[in-house]
Structure 1
Amino acid sequence: MKVYVVTGASKGIGFELAKQLSGAGHFVIGIARTESKIDGVKFIKADLSETEKLESLTNEIIAAAPQHAVSFTLINNAGMVNPIGIIGSVNAEEITNAIAVNLTAPMIISNAFISKLKDSNVSKRIVNISSGAGRNAYEGWGTYCATKAGIDHFSRVVAIEQLNAQHPVDIVSIAPGIIDTGMQEIIRASKEEAFPLLDKFIEYKEQGLLSSAQQTAQKLISFMENEDFKEVGSIVDIRNY
């Protein structure tokens, strides 16, 4: 049985990933602050901003997996776009919280995941959900851009390190495109002085240019099932597949 761990599994892409993977017969563990009922998904309630608890959380995740697992895939999906604002006007506590959820948490969980499974000779993968914001600079998204750039570069480093591992973990940081989720609602509710590109993102919605969470999850699952991470490289955009 294939095991998938999905953070941020209560809504958006994470919810759809957990739902579709479970529906395909895989063993899915969903991590979120609020539990959502999905048939076949084991939910573990956790706040990823509480970074001091994440190593023990990862141990709990691995312990919950079936003994006969043939593969483990960790999908670091949880993320937040706030705080939105021009640097110099942003709340310091919100910056700290966003860095914890978007960058520190996936780093700690990935570290514990690799450590816990280092002697396991099964297929092991880490999929970090990134963003074009990690590869381009957008006014008003200083924190979000920085954290996604960080997860991209972290993925590059891990990919290099795992070349020397006895039982390596494959890793990819993938940008899923612009998706019609709660994150987009937050963006559209911001003020233009905080996010100068506001009108552009409103147009995305009005012109029907946003992908659905369901469609995006389908593409991501197809990518995970059909692509060799070592061949595609550690930095990927789903729109190229």
Structure 2
Amino acid sequence: MKALRRMLVWISGASAGIGAALVATLAGDAEIVDLSRRGGTPGTQHVAVDLADPASWPVVEADFRRRLAGFDGDTVVFIHNAATLSPLGPAGSTDSASYTRNVLLNSAAAQVLGDAFLRAVAGTDHDQHLIMLSSGAAHKPHEGESSYGAGKAAIDQWVRAVGLEQQRRHPGCRVLSIAPGSVDTAMQAELRAAADEAFPEASRFRDLEARGGLAKPEDVARTIWSLLDRDLPNGSVLHVKDLS
């Protein structure tokens, strides 16, 4: 990533996995805000929120506005990375409360927080970037991942539509979606540990891990950061393999 004078960056779910790797690989002068329940990632300021709870969403929007009001740097970025796989299993046979949390975090929170970020940055002259973390499950259905896959598909379609809208704005915010592929994270471990009857793809992911086929979170994070410098159409829906 080319040198930037000063950045203000929000990352949801920066306490682990790809989110923590994004923090570790960000170069330059940046204020990084971790939107998560746990926090604890070095180099971040933590806003404690449960993003599966709609009551937390106004808290995030207020943080966007408060920090932007005092920011005189070049670039503002929001990366929505937070997601959950739970519950894995066929629709109609999983815990209804967990299923609802999945829908709220993977779909509703992404759209509402994206909308809040766009409202907060509208009319400012910063270089603006909104990046949504998607998944291959948005395009290829897997048994046992109905809510997760539907949520990620919703993110991709939201990005396509909002990208078109932002093209009409001056300067506008660049809105992108990127699927990270199979990455060596706790979420991947959860897939491998799933019972085959709940998630038939589990054996494929176990084979992939055994063959050393999982990407390192830091490598994926560097690819995501490279999006800030790539000339990509607004509303692009990408996979990391498209950028190698």
- The Cα shift of 1:135 comes to 1.0
Report what 1:205 is aligned to: 209
Cα distance in 1, alignment partners of residues 222 and 119 from structure 2: 30
Does the CA contact (< 8 Å) of 1:172 and 1:234 recur in 2? yes
Does the CA contact (< 8 Å) of 2:64 and 2:117 recur in 1? no
For normalisation by structure 2, the TM-score amounts to 0.92
Match of 1:71 among 69, 75, 82: 75
Does the CA contact (< 8 Å) of 2:15 and 2:38 recur in 1? yes
Does the CA contact (< 8 Å) of 1:55 and 1:108 recur in 2? no
- The Cα shift of 1:123 comes to 1.1
- Report the residue type matching 2:73 in the other structure: A
- The Cα shift of 1:107 comes to 1.0
Cα distance in 2, alignment partners of residues 226 and 162 from structure 1: 18
Cα distance in 2, alignment partners of residues 225 and 171 from structure 1: 11
- The Cα shift of 1:81 comes to 1.1
> CA 1:145 to 1:207, structure 2 compared with 1: closer, same or farther past 3 Å?
same
- The Cα shift of 1:182 comes to 0.5
Match of 1:220 among 219, 224, 230: 224
Report what 2:177 is aligned to: 173
Please, which runs of 5 or more residues in structure 2 have no aligned partner? 1-5
Report what 1:2 is aligned to: 7
- Report the residue type matching 1:20 in the other structure: T
- Report the residue type matching 2:229 in the other structure: N
Instruction: After superposition, give the CA deviation of every residue in 1:126-164 in whole Å (9 maximum; x if it has no partner).
Output: 100000100111111111110000100111111111122
Does the CA contact (< 8 Å) of 1:131 and 1:148 recur in 2? yes
Does the CA contact (< 8 Å) of 1:171 and 1:229 recur in 2? no
- Match of 1:229, SS? coil
Please, which runs of 5 or more residues in structure 1 have no aligned partner? none
Match of 1:162 among 152, 158, 166: 166
Does the CA contact (< 8 Å) of 2:129 and 2:228 recur in 1? no
- Report the residue type matching 2:123 in the other structure: D
Report what 1:234 is aligned to: 236
Cα distance in 2, alignment partners of residues 6 and 44 from structure 1: 10
- Report the residue type matching 2:93 in the other structure: S
- The Cα shift of 1:52 comes to 2.5
Does the CA contact (< 8 Å) of 2:64 and 2:120 recur in 1? no
Cα distance in 2, alignment partners of residues 195 and 56 from structure 1: 35
Cα distance in 2, alignment partners of residues 235 and 174 from structure 1: 6
Q: Is 1:13 paired with 2:13?
A: no
Instruction: After superposition, give the CA deviation of every residue in 1:39-68 in whole Å (9 maximum; x if it has no partner).
Output: 3x2111111011123123222134235521
Count of aligned pairs between the two proteins: 237
Report what 2:125 is aligned to: 121
- The Cα shift of 1:82 comes to 1.3
Report what 1:133 is aligned to: 137
Match of 2:30 among 12, 26, 30: 26
Q: Is 1:48 paired with 2:22?
A: no
Instruction: Report the aligned-residue RMSD.
Output: 1.5
- Report the residue type matching 2:58 in the other structure: E
For normalisation by structure 1, the TM-score amounts to 0.93
Cα distance in 2, alignment partners of residues 50 and 16 from structure 1: 25
- The Cα shift of 1:92 comes to 1.5
Does the CA contact (< 8 Å) of 2:14 and 2:41 recur in 1? no
- The Cα shift of 1:172 comes to 0.7
- Match of 1:192, SS? coil
- The Cα shift of 1:228 comes to 2.0
Q: Is 1:57 paired with 2:72?
A: no
Does the CA contact (< 8 Å) of 2:20 and 2:41 recur in 1? no
Percent identity for Structure 1 against Structure 2: 26
